Amino acid sequence: MTTKSINQDRLWLEQLKFDARGLIPAIAQDDGDGAVLMMAWMNRESIERTLDTGEAHYWSRSRQELWHKGATSGHIQKVKSIAYDCDGDTILLKIDQVGDVACHTGARSCFFNQVRA
């Protein structure tokens, strides 16, 4: 495992592969219990803002604007670590979810729709 400082050396951002719209998928995972809480999109600006503040910021495709998770609900995400996959096309944020609600529906996780295998 390679560990890089997310706040001192941002050269790792050059390893990321954004799509044609300048976006990359980001998974938010609970740092404590490993639960996958949500998936959202990030652009370079939202990643930079996340690094600067220590709280998750995403890009809203529907509103076409930067989105600070929890700015209105109070359910912010404090970022503990950031990793990217082997292809550089997906980000994983390990977070502490304030208020234990990540989904806009009020659920802890957005992944509550179970499909029988």
Angle ∠(98,99,102) on CA atoms, nearest 5: 80
Binned at pLDDT 50, 70 and 90, residue 10 comes out as confident
pLDDT in tens, 18-35: 999 999 999 999 999 999
Distance (Å, whole) CA 88 – CA 65: 23
Half-sphere exposure of 116 (CA within 13 A, CB side): 0
Distance (Å, whole) CA 81 – CA 100: 18
- The mean pLDDT value for 53-61 works out to 97
Residue pair 57/46 in contact (Cβ under 8 Å)? The answer is: yes
Give the predicted TM-score (pTM) of the model: 0.90
